[in-house]
Amino acid sequence: MATPDHLFNLRNNFYLGAYQAAINSSNVNNLSTDDAIERDCLVHRCYIALGQLQFVISEIDSSAATPLQAVKLLAQYFSNPENKESTISSLKEWLADPAIGNNPTLRLIAGIMFMHEQDYNEALKHTNAGGTLELHALNVQIFIKMHRSDYAERQLRAMQQIDEDHTLTQLANAWLNLAVGGSKIQEAYLIFQDLSERYQTTSLLLNGKAVCCMHMGNFDEAETLLVEALNKDARDPETLANLVVCCLHLGKPSSKSFSQLKLSHPDHVLVKRVSAAEESFDRALQSFT
């Protein structure tokens, strides 16, 4: 008889981007030591996603288990961009330690940080061996960013062999369908829709559906979905960025959403691209003066 998965709701809410709901469902009794550590890691990753970085840093002390120390390192990485070289240096030291270097959570956090650095080859050094569904799902994201949908598909197949119906497998399938494009866009939309109906509608799922709509040229529907997502989380960077793009296609003002994005997430890829374009334009103007 299979043992019940006491952390299913917490884990599932986290994957779907329902971070507060995940935290609210974290009060689970009679957990094993390993399950308690996983619970605490997921809860603190929820707080990171909600922007409560200093809370995570202060809550996890130096005696905590390796997975929790890795999560604390992720909070430090996001909270202090000016000092990220020091944080990455600490991460590399831990990864080189034979006693803890192969810890799945540590490898996952390494993958997330190096992916954020756009150092995809370094990320894959630590994630490519897989071992957990979440590591496979991260590999799918990394390969998509590298424009290698063929490798992403291999990772997805590995996930499907483990658990085809798992929320992460379904999400990875939708991400890959979006990357492939064409007729796969409608399939991605249906996956996001199915997850919304089966569990709950989250900002993450609404953004997924909105991006599908934009790919299919349905910008009015995309805008409706993004406004709904904005009502759930007014500071979500992907919602703001997608709304900027959607409004531009609709010929509507996008400066408010872009200003919010620039203020709250100055390192977002859209902010960097617009800033680079503005600098190029200014240089071109100066060459004519």
Give the dihedral of Cα atoms 153, 155, 158, 160; nearest 10 deg.
Answer: -60
Helix 84-95 × helix 66-79 angle, to 10°: 160
Does the pLDDT at position 138 exceed 90?
A: yes
Cα–Cα distances in angstroms (integers) from residue 277 to residues 12, 25, 151, 232, 272, in the given order: 39, 44, 32, 31, 9
Task: Answer whether residue 276 shows pLDDT above 70.
Answer: no
Radius of gyration in angstroms for the set of CA atoms belonging to the chain, rounded to a whole number: 20
221-264 pLDDT, tens digit each:
999 999 999 999 888 889 989 888 898 888 988 888 887 777 77
Return the ∠ at Cα 194 (arms to 51 and 18), rounded to 5°.
Answer: 15
Task: Please write the tens of the pLDDT for every residue from 142-187.
Answer: 999 999 999 999 999 999 999 999 999 999 999 999 999 999 999 9
pLDDT at 281 over 90: no
Could you tell me the CA-to-CA distances from 129 to 109, 111, 145, 204, 274 in Å, in that order?
A: 14, 12, 18, 27, 36
Question: pLDDT digit string (tens) for 212-231?
Answer: 999 999 999 999 999 999 99
For residues 206 and 220, give the distance between their C-alpha atoms in angstroms, rounded to a whole number: 14
Residue 59, Cβ neighbours under 10 Å: how many? 17
φ and ψ at residue 200, rounded to 5 degrees? -160, 160
Q: Encode the chain in three state secondary structure.
A: CCCCCCCHHHHHHHHHCCHHHHHHCCCCCCCCHHHHHHHHHHHHHHHHHCCCHHHHHHHCCCCCCHHHHHHHHHHHHHHCHHHHHHHHHHHHHHHCCCCCCCCHHHHHHHHHHHHHCCCHHHHHHHHCCCCCHHHHHHHHHHHHHCCCHHHHHHHHHHHHHHHCCCHHHHHHHHHHHHHHCCCHHHHHHHHHHHHHHHCCCCHHHHHHHHHHHHHCCCHHHHHHHHHHHHHHCCCCHHHHHHHHHHHHHHCCCCHHHHHHHHHHCCCCHHHHHHHHHHHHHHHHHHCCC
Q: What is the pLDDT of residue 72?
A: 97
pLDDT at 275: 65
Give the residue with greater pLDDT, 284 vs 55. Answer: 55
% of the chain beyond a pLDDT of 70: 93
Alpha-carbon distance of 16 to 207, in angstroms, equals 11
How far is Cα 211 from Cα 221, in angstroms, rounded to an integer? 10
Contact 52, 71 (CB under 8 A): no
Give the N- to C-terminal CA distance of the chain in Å, as an integer.
78
pLDDT given for residue 258 in this prediction: 81
Our CA angle for 195, 211, 112, nearest 5°, is 75
Task: State mean pLDDT over 182-209.
Answer: 95
